[in-house]
């Protein structure tokens, strides 16, 4: 049953109403996006682009209405005055004002001209990237990328920042995050990971068997396996569904309708399973948000980093553990007797945890993955701060790859051109992937002190104690607390990379 957000304050009630209407428009937009990626016939694209444009204009006009600005200002003043007097404003009220202000400020600071120019530049950028990536021609991407960077620099300057211009872009994905903080956290991590990698490489692991990869697996069986796993970890198919798309993603159409997609590759059951659990982790987060904030700006994950902590906890900390495979191997054997009939959990465990520096980020193991991220982070920060030139990117990339991973990509398509992100204007996004790993390990450490027998539960296929803990401590709050605030509230300390490093050391000892 949905309990409404109750407030005796008429201004909070009005803000909540506006927030709800904006959330509705956004949900409708998301539904069109989901359809475009799943079932839309190809010719639908013509009107779809227009429909999305119209909806985003309505959203923008509604959000930047002067009434919204005045209401936020008034509430901010009153919250400030009431400070310490325990008047009517609780954490949720304050967070609602904060999140609405964040959206309002961004929408009013960035002129419509820039929004339009960015839409054009990223549309051109995406097309150029596709060609450059496919034909291994970096030169095709130079000008379009430069255009995107110029606009992102303009955006960062309008949004504002204290020290580094890159901070103005980071904040979009991880509120309050600064380059200084990123450096504090990532530098020790980089050192430790490189040390660990060197140790592992000299100890010469034997090659694992190809079980979840390299054989043929029927599509229907893969879908059934993923559905069974999603159901088991607590994903509610009455409040979501699983479909196929070119890339896996999770999408939220408002409270209690959060859908996941997956990508089918005939010879890669492993990627299907891990994508399912990963997206399932994202979806569980959104589905676990409190009913009371169910239709407002607070009904979303608080940041991409925290979101990624939820997907990676299920995918890696749980999904790549031996107890997990002890539970699931018999089921997979029954489903795929020809491919996996004589497989043991230990063999799968070894296969899905093999450490090997490679060129491609999305195929990387839990250790080298973060080195891939750090390469991108250092490069995009230098680009935004104009310390390096776009034309020099292949060389910069290859030098960093050699220093960090010990390998130089043979082509730019396998190197600097492998990711789509920059062509879409997503700059400042990459660090959230590694932050997700760090948050996940820190949350997991706390979860294990609260649920000491967690691996026994996993081995017996009982995932509810984990989900209950996550709901109570993380999901329930939606965006009420900012990422750093949430980490402190849940674990009692600030984000600390030591938990992730300890987890890796224990696992790969």
Pairing of strands 242-244, 250-252: unpaired
State yes or no: is 351 an active-site residue. Answer: no
User: For residue 238, what are its two tokens?
Assistant: 């009455």
State in angstroms the smallest separation of the CB of 241 from Mg ion: 18
Where b means 16+ CB within 10 Å and e means fewer, 451-482 reads eeebbebbbeeebebbbebbbebbbebbbbbb
Order of strands, edge to edge, in the sheet holding 242-244? 242-244, 258-262, 250-252
Stretch that binds Mg ion, among 131-139, 308-316, 327-335, 469-477 (CB under 5 A): 308-316
DSSP 208: P
Four-CA torsion 13, 15, 18, 20, nearest 10 degrees = -70
CA–CA separation, 379 and 396 (whole Å): 8
Residue 171 or 315: the one with the smaller Cβ distance to Mg ion is 315
Spell out the alpha helix ranges (H) of 385-476: 393-405, 431-450, 454-459, 464-473
CA–CA separation, 218 and 505 (whole Å): 37
Query: Does residue number 404 form part of the binding site for Mg ion (CB under 5 A)?
Result: no
Residue 311 or 423: the one with the smaller Cβ distance to Mg ion is 311
Residue 59 or 173: the one with the smaller Cβ distance to Mg ion is 173
Residue 164 or 242: the one with the smaller Cβ distance to Mg ion is 242
Tell me which H or E stretch contains 332.
helix 322-335
State in angstroms the smallest separation of the CB of 278 from Mg ion: 6
Size of the site for Mg ion (CB under 5 A): 1
Query: Does residue number 311 form part of the binding site for Mg ion (CB under 5 A)?
Result: yes
Residues whose CB is less than 8 angstroms from the CB of residue 194 and which lie 6 or more positions away in sequence, other chains included:
371, 404
What one-character-per-residue DSSP string does 136-158 give? Answer: T-THHHHHHHHHHHHHHHHHHHH
Q: Which of 99, 155, 279, 286 is catalytic?
A: 279
Residue 303 or 343: the one with the smaller Cβ distance to Mg ion is 303
State in angstroms the smallest separation of the CB of 262 from Mg ion: 12
Give φ, ψ of 244 to 5 degrees: -105, 145
State in angstroms the smallest separation of the CB of 442 from Mg ion: 18
State in angstroms the smallest separation of the CB of 432 from Mg ion: 9
Other beta carbons within 10 angstroms of residue 102's beta carbon come to 16
State in angstroms the smallest separation of the CB of 251 from Mg ion: 12
CA–CA separation, 203 and 235 (whole Å): 40
Residue 311 or 316: the one with the smaller Cβ distance to Mg ion is 311
Give φ, ψ of 418 to 5 degrees: -70, -30
Residue 290 or 311: the one with the smaller Cβ distance to Mg ion is 311
State in angstroms the smallest separation of the CB of 47 from Mg ion: 30
CA–CA separation, 242 and 226 (whole Å): 9
CA–CA separation, 317 and 294 (whole Å): 29
Site string for Mg ion, 261-300 (x = CB under 5 A): ----------------------------------------
Query: Does residue number 329 form part of the binding site for Mg ion (CB under 5 A)?
Result: no
- Which residues are tagged catalytic? 279
Residues binding Mg ion (CB under 5 A): 311
């Amino acid at each position: 049953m949905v309990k409404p957000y109750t407030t005796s304050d008429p201004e909070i009630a009005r803000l909540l109403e506006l927030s709800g209407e904006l959330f509705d428009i956004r949900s409708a937009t998301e539904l069109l996006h989901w359809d475009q990626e799943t079932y839309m016939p190809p010719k639908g694209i013509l009107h779809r682009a227009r429909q999305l444009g119209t909806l985003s204009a309505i959203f923008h006009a509604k959000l930047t209405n002067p009434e919204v600005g005045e209401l936020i200002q008034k509430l901010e003043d009153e919250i400030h005055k009431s400070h310490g007097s325990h008047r009517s404003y609780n954490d949720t009220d304050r967070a609602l004002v904060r999140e609405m202000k964040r959206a309002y400020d961004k929408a009013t600071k960035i002129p419509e001209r820039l929004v339009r120019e960015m839409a054009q530049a990223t549309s051109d950028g995406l097309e150029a990237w596709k060609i450059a990536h496919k034909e291994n021609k970096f030169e095709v991407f130079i000008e379009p990328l430069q255009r995107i960077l110029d606009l992102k620099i303009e955006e960062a300057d309008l949004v504002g920042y204290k020290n580094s211009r890159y901070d103005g872009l980071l904040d979009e994905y991880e509120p309050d995050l600064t380059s200084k903080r990123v450096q504090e956290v990532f530098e020790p991590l980089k050192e430790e990971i490189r040390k660990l990698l060197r140790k592992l490489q000299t100890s010469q692991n034997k090659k694992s068997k190809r079980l979840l990869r390299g054989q043929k697996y029927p599509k229907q069986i893969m879908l059934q396996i993923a559905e069974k796993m999603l159901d088991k970890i607590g994903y509610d198919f009455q409040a979501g569904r699983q479909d196929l798309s070119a890339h896996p993603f999770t999408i939220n159409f408002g409270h209690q309708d959060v859908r996941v997609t997956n990508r089918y590759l005939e010879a890669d059951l492993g990627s299907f399973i891990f994508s399912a659990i990963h997206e399932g982790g994202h979806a569980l987060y959104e589905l676990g948000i409190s009913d009371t904030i169910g239709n407002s700006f607070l009904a979303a994950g608080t940041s991409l980093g925290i979101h990624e902590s939820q997907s990676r906890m299920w995918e890696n900390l749980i999904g790549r553990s031996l107890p997990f495979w002890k539970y699931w191997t018999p089921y997979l054997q029954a489903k795929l007797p020809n491919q996996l009939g004589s497989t043991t959990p230990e063999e799968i465990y070894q296969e899905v945890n093999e450490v090997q520096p490679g060129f491609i980020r999305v195929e990387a193991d839990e250790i080298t993955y973060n080195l891939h991220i750090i390469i991108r982070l250092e490069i995009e920060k230098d680009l935004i701060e104009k310390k390096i030139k776009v034309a020099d990117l292949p060389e910069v990339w290859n030098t960093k790859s050699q220093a960090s991973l010990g390998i130089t990509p043979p082509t730019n398509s396998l190197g600097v051109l492998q990711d789509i992100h920059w062509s879409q204007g997503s700059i400042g996004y990459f660090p959230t992937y590694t932050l997700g790993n760090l948050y996940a390990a820190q949350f997991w450490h706390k979860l294990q002190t609260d649920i000491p027998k967690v691996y026994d539960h996993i081995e017996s296929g009982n995932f509810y104690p984990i989900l209950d803990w996550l709901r109570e401590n993380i999901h329930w709050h939606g965006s009420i607390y900012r990422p750093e605030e949430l980490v402190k509230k849940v674990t009692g300390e600030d984000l600390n990379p030591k938990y992730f490093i300890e987890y890796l050391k224990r696992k790969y000892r």
